[in-house]
Amino acid sequence: MSPSLTAFFYLVSAVLFILALRGLSNPETARRGNALGMAGMLIAVLVTFAHPGMRRDWLILLGIAIGGSIGAFIARRIQMTALPQLVAAFHSLVGLAAVFVAAAALNAPEAFGIGIYGDIRAESLVEMSIGLAIGAITFSGSVIAFAKLQALMSGAPITYPYQHPINAVIGALTVILIIAFVATGGSQPLFWLTAILSFALGFLLIIPIGGADMPVIVSMLNSYSGWAACGIGFTIQNLGLIITGALVGASGAILSYIMCRGMNRSIVNVLLGGFGTEGGAAAAAGAAGERTVKTGNADDAAFILKNASKVIIVPGYGMAVAQAQHAVRELADTLKKQGVEVKYAIHPVAGRMPGHMNVLLAEANVPYDEVFALEEINNEFSTADVAYVIGANDVTNPAAKTDRSSPIYGMPILEVDKAGTVLFVKRSLATGYAGVDNELFYRPNTMMLFGDAKKMTEQIVQALGH
């Protein structure tokens, strides 16, 4: 196949990827979008096989067969609640692959037409080392994110002394090493030293970041995996890779931005880490002692729900942890049968990755046209009789609007306090991730339902039955 024709087919695959993303603008067209994405990938792989002088087809096919079977197996078996860690794991693979391809380009530049071994164009060396560094950071950062999400390590922010100076020094060293790498015309030891330092940087950057900030981090690593692909695309001068990497990079960046906006924090603030560790617990304990809380059981809740005409369900990460999504759907079905209008309200940062709650509700067969985003539904709370808050906390805290000293001040919240009654399913009065007390617990129109989210919801369904 001539190089021009090859380039043309890479363009076709890039266009298919753009159309795939375009398809996600609506659940109706999304499945076709995904199919277009697969077609784009197939074209890219086939065209690469047809590259003049390609050998070792069997080795490549073997790699695809082994990797593909593992991937397909995981995709079928994975629990929907475990999606965030799966996505983090996938990001790490792209990062590591970028490191390997950069290493291959250094050892066999002739394969990509960027020179011969020991004599690679300086420009290609720069691009190679950028691809290498971003790939390595993506890899180690995603491994830590995976470990935190999978609870292999504590989800609490882990801070260490001189955190920021250490990172700054490593970052500066990495830049110096890259310059030296290019100046020496591609020294192997410097290449691997850059890789090691970048691995360390990714590791140290993500360690201090707490579990509930993971939506931002997973999005950011998504973006990095795109930029890494871009860096490799520049190195091997492949337009398909550059375009696709740019699409993914932009996508991840937008998601990070949306998540940050959902918390009213800057990306720098999130990256500095350590959020929610200072003093919050003590303040909460003091406040809880003075005020009274109205508590209820499943029968009380069923009574209130039965007499409502409109109920808005507000799910949070606690619903995912308790695997309560099916019970919630049952509750909604029971209420609908009794003529109650039921809607769902989702905060942008609910869960551990963007759109996490939507997928869980979809898994439980909740129709997507009953599920609404914050700005779509926020002014409906005043017309709702009951807000059923299950596993969410900080995202409903009115302090975000009123208390300037609160760490979550300015964060957009779901205004559940405007509903007639707020039913709060929670295991205890403990503070949420931000470590701030939620004054909603002490309001007269709030009823706390202490217990496991799933069990409590099931009990309410039972109580509604008779």
Q: How many residues bind another protein (CB under 8 A)?
A: 125
Q: Is 300 annotated as catalytic?
A: no
In the list 26, 292, 405, 428, the residue contacting another protein (rule: CB under 8 A) is 26
What is the C-alpha to C-alpha distance for residues 91 and 447, in angstroms, rounded to an integer?
Answer: 42
What track of x and - describes contact with another protein for positions 187 through 226 (by CB under 8 A)?
-------------------------------xx--x--xx
For another protein, give the closer residue by CB, 9 or 424.
9
In the list 167, 264, 343, 355, the residue contacting another protein (rule: CB under 8 A) is 355
Nearest approach, Cβ of 81 to another protein (angstroms)? 12
Nearest approach, Cβ of 313 to another protein (angstroms)? 15
The answer to the question of residue 46 lying near another protein (CB under 8 A) is no
Binding residues for another protein restricted to 80-139, rule: CB under 8 A: 80, 83, 86-87, 90-91, 93-94, 96-98, 100-101, 103-108, 110-113, 117, 123
Which of these is catalytic: 394, 417, 437, 452?
394
Nearest approach, Cβ of 372 to another protein (angstroms)? 9
Binding residues for another protein restricted to 292-351, rule: CB under 8 A: 346, 348
Nearest approach, Cβ of 373 to another protein (angstroms)? 5
- Tokens for 433, please give them: 């991730």
What track of x and - describes contact with another protein for positions 370 through 409 (by CB under 8 A)?
xx-x------------------------------------
What track of x and - describes contact with another protein for positions 232 through 261 (by CB under 8 A)?
xxxxxxxxxxxxxxxxxxxxx-xx--x---
For another protein, give the closer residue by CB, 298 or 340.
340
- Contact region for another protein (CB under 8 A) — 7-15, 162-170, 196-204, 282-290? 7-15
Which residue reads 């302090």 in tokens?
399
What is the C-alpha to C-alpha distance for residues 388 and 458, in angstroms, rounded to an integer?
Answer: 14
For residue 407, CA distances in Å to 69, 84, 299, 430 come to 46, 25, 36, 16
Active site residues: 394
